[in-house]
Structure 1
Amino acid sequence: MLTALIIDDEAPSREELKALLAAAPDVEVLGECANAIEGLSAIHRLRPDVVFLDIQMPRLSGLEMVGMIDASALPQIVFVTAYDEHALKAFEEHAADYLLKPIDPQRLARTLDWLRSGVRHSPRAFPGSTEKLRQIPCFGRNRIFLLALDEVEFIHTDLAGVQVIGNQRQGTTELSLKILQERTSLIRCHRQFLVNLDQITEIELLDNGAAEIITRSGRRVPVSRRHLREMKDRLLIP
């Protein structure tokens, strides 16, 4: 049984694909998402075998979304797009496959046969998916939003997940600390914390060799002895 997730901002496109997949007795559609932020959450929660993913979506593209997923959680990716075939040549070696809208049922059948074979593409960087992030997809109280990186004071993990703390807003993100460290200018100051150097107003040195950062909003962020020297170097502190 193949489990699938559909991510597309156009409802008619999602319905069309869902109807086509329903004709395959060994494919189970676990869910559908109308944007990439919801899609990130659904991928980590549902762990589908394959994601049918639109490339062009508002606020966060399919390519940007794929670049935010840890390799260990990355499913097979099948792009479903209105791009012409020539434009998609650049993605052939990275994605499991691609389907052009409107979807040809015979073309979809070949894609499903390939997926059933069990052959997996090795995780690779998608074109445009390794650029530095300028905003972080977050979930807040009854809402989803993108928090601009320059608003972020720090990010930390707790039992509820990865928490993004901004000047005015805060939320939970599906991105891991590892991805956020690799794809942003935030630096690690503690095993559970990343900090925005531009949001630091003071560093208070402690007797045990560690330290605490005080941010622009007055919040305190721990700095371990292991990471204190790196932070001083980045801030040109002797």
Structure 2
Amino acid sequence: MTLRVVLVDDEPIALRRLAMALQDVAGVEVVGSAGDGLSAEALIAETSPDVVILDIQMPGRTGLSLAAALPAESRPEVIFVTAFEHYAPDAFDVEAADYVLKPVRIDRLRQAIERVRRRLSLREAEASVAALSAEVEALNRRRQDDAGDGLPNAVWAPAKGGDVRVSAASIIWIEAAGDYVIIHTAHRSHMLRATLTELEKVFSPGVIRRVHRSAMVNMTLVESVKRPGRGALTLVLEAKTEVPVGPNYTQAVAAALRIG
């Protein structure tokens, strides 16, 4: 699938650099670019791109304001590209796919595009995912009842206009991001100021387990296990998300999955 991309940045040099970097990313077509938020809104309406790579600080209309105004029924995925780290929580409030800091590295940009591909695949399969999520939630409730550990198995994450409860059943995996964690679900990602060590005290390990110093996964969603090297494990979750298991966690994860 070729992703149609619109670039938005008020610096012409930044636009050229993004366009050049995307030439090295397979399956991407740049269909337009804009230098301010107002013209970008018109361009997005005209071209209906799959992805908008968007600066935050721009004249006329900020990138955050533009992303929030995009109509939900035809909203493209948004990747913010900015020199300012402190806007990250606001970016996830408008359901951005990723947040990339300038200067942009080609490997980091490629990673952001791949994250968009995964999100679009999940969106296309939304009906089947919803049914699966219901089954998983029922299974998790039974497992949590059996565990009897009294843990909440849910967290409250900031959302536009308030907070949203994110249950263990809805989580695919969690990754550490400095002083924050990013909680990935089938429908969106949530950014929460917390550590994985703190979350280990919230979730039952039979459901959400720490598998790496920077990752936790929903053990009920492990579809297969890869063995990339001697003693190494990689967990393959739904939507083909792959999470490596850290050396210090391999034995416990193998035992939890009941594999040799």
TM value normalised by structure 2: 0.44
For the pair shown, which has the larger CA radius of gyration, 1 or 2?
Answer: 1
TM-score (norm 1): 0.48
Determine which structure has the larger helix proportion and give its number. Answer: 2
